[in-house]
């Protein structure tokens, strides 16, 4: 994520990176930002107990995790009308709207990830359109009552 963001900055694409979450790698990641000279454009927010209070401030939701199955953060981002740039691990590609799937890149293809971040960051109209499509998609496929019914059917509960 950080290296893809640094590539955007090298192309003079004006942007900021907000990293939500915390962990043992934070110091290493902050040092990487200094090495790449992007520390002034990267905000390490740390743990946020209610991410829904900040997610609406984003233009693009990017997730670079390589060990996901069905990340709740993608559902939250779609519910906030955001376009998604991500890595095709687990169910990630199948979770987003069909139109957003081109922005889900193969695992370990940093160039593709950076390219998709650039393509989406530079196109406000595309951001809005994909955000609207993702919102409709999450409402249609992942609504709480729909999910309850799907689980009931799966478990043989009527």
Would you call 23 helix, strand, or coil by DSSP? coil
**pTM for the model:** 0.89
Q: Which two tokens stand for residue 45?
A: 């927010």
Beta strand 104-105 with 84-87: parallel, antiparallel or unpaired?
parallel
Closest-CA residue to 100 (of 56, 146, 63)? 63
Return per-residue pLDDT of the chain as tens, 158 residues: 999 999 988 888 889 999 998 999 999 999 999 999 999 999 999 999 988 889 989 999 999 998 889 999 999 999 999 999 999 999 999 999 999 999 999 998 989 999 999 999 989 999 999 999 999 999 999 988 888 888 899 899 86
């Amino acid at each position: 994520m950080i290296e893809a963001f640094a590539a955007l900055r090298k192309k003079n694409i004006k942007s900021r990176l907000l990293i939500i979450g915390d962990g043992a790698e934070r110091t290493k990641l902050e040092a990487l930002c200094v090495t790449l000279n992007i520390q002034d454009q990267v905000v390490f927010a740390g743990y946020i107990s209610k991410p829904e209070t900040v997610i609406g401030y984003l233009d693009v939701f990017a997730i670079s995790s390589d060990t996901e199955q069905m990340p709740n953060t993608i559902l939250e981002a779609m519910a906030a009308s955001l376009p998604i740039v991500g890595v095709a691990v687990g169910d990630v590609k199948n979770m987003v709207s069909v139109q957003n799937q081109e922005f889900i890149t193969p695992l370990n293809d940093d160039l593709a990830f950076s390219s998709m971040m650039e393509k989406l960051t530079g196109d406000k109209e595309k951001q809005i359109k994909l955000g609207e499509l993702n919102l409709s998609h999450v409402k249609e496929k992942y609504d709480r009552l729909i999910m309850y019914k799907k689980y009931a059917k799966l478990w043989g509960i009527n």
